[in-house]
Amino acid sequence: MPTILGIESTCDETAASVVVDGWDVRSNVVATQVELHAKYRGVVPEIASRAHIENILPVVREALSSADVAQGDIDAVAVAHRPGLIGSLLVGVTAAKTLAWALGKPLIGVDHVHAHLYSVVLETNRTPPVPAVGLVVSGGHTALYRVGSWLDVELIGSTIDDAVGEAYDKVAAILGLGYPGGPILDRLAAKGDPRAVKFPRTLLGRDSLDFSFSGLKTAVLYHVRGVPGRGEDVKEVTPVLTEEHVADVAASFQAACVDVIVEKLRRAIAQSDASSVIVGGGVSANSGLREALNHLTVPAHVPPMRYCTDNAAMSAGLAHVYFGEGKFSGLDLDAVTHSQFRD
What count of other Cβ atoms lies within 10 Å of the Cβ of residue 325?
10
CB distance 117 to 321 below 8 Å? no
Shortest Cβ distance from residue 136 to Zn ion (Å)? Answer: 7
CB distance 118 to 150 below 8 Å? yes
Q: What are residue 79's DSSP bridge partners?
A: 7, 109
Which of the choices ligand KG4, Zn ion, none does residue 180 contact, using the CB cut-off of 5 to 8 A by kind?
Answer: ligand KG4
CB distance 4 to 75 below 8 Å? yes
Residue 186 interacting with ligand KG4 (CB under 6 A):
yes
Residue 184: strand, helix, or coil: helix
Residues in contact with ligand KG4, counted by CB under 6 A, come to a total of: 19
Residue 210 interacting with ligand KG4 (CB under 6 A):
no
Q: Which is nearer to Zn ion, 3 or 284 (CB)?
A: 284
Which of the choices Zn ion, ligand KG4, none does residue 8 contact, using the CB cut-off of 5 to 8 A by kind?
Answer: none
Nearest 5°: the CA angle 303, 263, 296 is 50
What count of other Cβ atoms lies within 10 Å of the Cβ of residue 57?
12
Q: Which is nearer to ligand KG4, 133 or 285 (CB)?
A: 285
Nearest 5°: the CA angle 164, 170, 174 is 140
Q: Which is nearer to Zn ion, 248 or 310 (CB)?
A: 310
Of residues 121-160, which lie at the interface with ligand KG4 (CB under 6 A)? 138-140
The single residue among 33, 88, 276, 309 that binds ligand KG4, judged by CB under 6 A, is 309
Residue 92 interacting with ligand KG4 (CB under 6 A):
no
Nearest to 107 by CA among 340, 312, 336, 323: 323
Q: Which residues bind Zn ion (CB under 5 A)?
A: 138, 310
Residue 192 interacting with ligand KG4 (CB under 6 A):
no
Contact positions toward ligand KG4, by CB under 6 A? 11, 138-140, 165, 168-169, 180-183, 186, 281-283, 285-286, 309-310
